[in-house]
Structure 1
Amino acid sequence: MTANIGGIGSVLQQMQTMAAQAAGGTANAAAATAATGSGAATLGTFSGALQASLDKISGDQQKALGEAQAFEVGAPNVSLNDVMVDMQKANIGFQFGLQVRNKLVSAYQQIMQMSV
């Protein structure tokens, strides 16, 4: 999960750089872009990390639902403990994804409120 958090920091920094460029601070923005590396590569890496995280969250939810259904029909190899643990893992992953989304929306709103 650390890589995903680092990716979020990179995209937020890139968004701030773009906002500074739009506001007319091109010298400072160019220096910030040079410090973070190629903007396109950073965005591509973040996009991939975000998609992988969303896929993992979805997979965890599907696994938990599948185990819950198997337990309901009496599958002998599925215990209640496993179902509960997997449901909590899926819930924590979903909450993490929701918080990441909230931070991205907040950053976007801050950029949009900057004067041009």
Structure 2
Amino acid sequence: MKIQSTGLYQEMQAMASEAGRVRPQDPNKLPVQATAATSSAQFGDLLSDALNTVAGLQRDAKEKVTAVEMGDRSVSLAEAMIAKNKSSVAFDATMQVRNKLIEAYKDIMSMPV
């Protein structure tokens, strides 16, 4: 899974600074925080790209394992095993992210309003 940490970190900083901004409108009203409509689309794109990367790794691993099983000399057993382990690690990481997202969703839904 190829996620660029610097871009993600910068995006998180930008969202944190955006969330910290307050627009005073009326002194009698509570301040309203500014929200960025594009942050959810960017997160969705990031998540979609990550899932596509994992799917690509799995396809590549399957192709290499099949090539080794069929006796193709252009693909070595080591290449197939490395591709299989890469796809396994990427899938495990994806499952961990999914579990954290579900846990966060459940925490938010159980909050009293």
User: Aligned partners of 2:50 and 2:7: how far apart in 1?
Assistant: 8
TM-score by length of 1: 0.71
Unaligned runs of 5+ in 2: 17-29
Alignment of structure 1 residues 89-108 onto 2, 5 Å: 89-108=86-105
User: Aligned partners of 2:7 and 2:109: how far apart in 1?
Assistant: 24
User: Aligned partners of 1:50 and 1:4: how far apart in 2?
Assistant: 14
User: Aligned partners of 2:105 and 2:59: how far apart in 1?
Assistant: 30
User: Aligned partners of 2:87 and 2:55: how far apart in 1?
Assistant: 8
Q: Secondary structure at the residue paired with 2:112?
A: coil
- 2:72 is aligned, of 62, 75, 93, to 75
User: Aligned partners of 2:9 and 2:110: how far apart in 1?
Assistant: 25
1:76 Cα deviation from its structure 2 partner:
1.2
Count of matched residue pairs: 95
2:108 is the counterpart of 1:111: yes
Tell me, yes or no, if the aligned pair for 1:68 and 1:83 is still in contact at 8 Å: yes
Percent sequence identity is 31
> Which structure shows the bigger proportion of residues in helix conformation?
1
Unaligned runs of 5+ in 1: 14-26
- 1:43 is aligned, of 40, 43, 50, to 40
What's 1:53 paired with? 50
User: Aligned partners of 2:46 and 2:86: how far apart in 1?
Assistant: 19
What's 1:63 paired with? 60
1:67 Cα deviation from its structure 2 partner:
0.5
Give CA deviations for 1:28-52 in whole Å, capped at 9, x if unaligned. 8x44xx3xx51x2110000000001
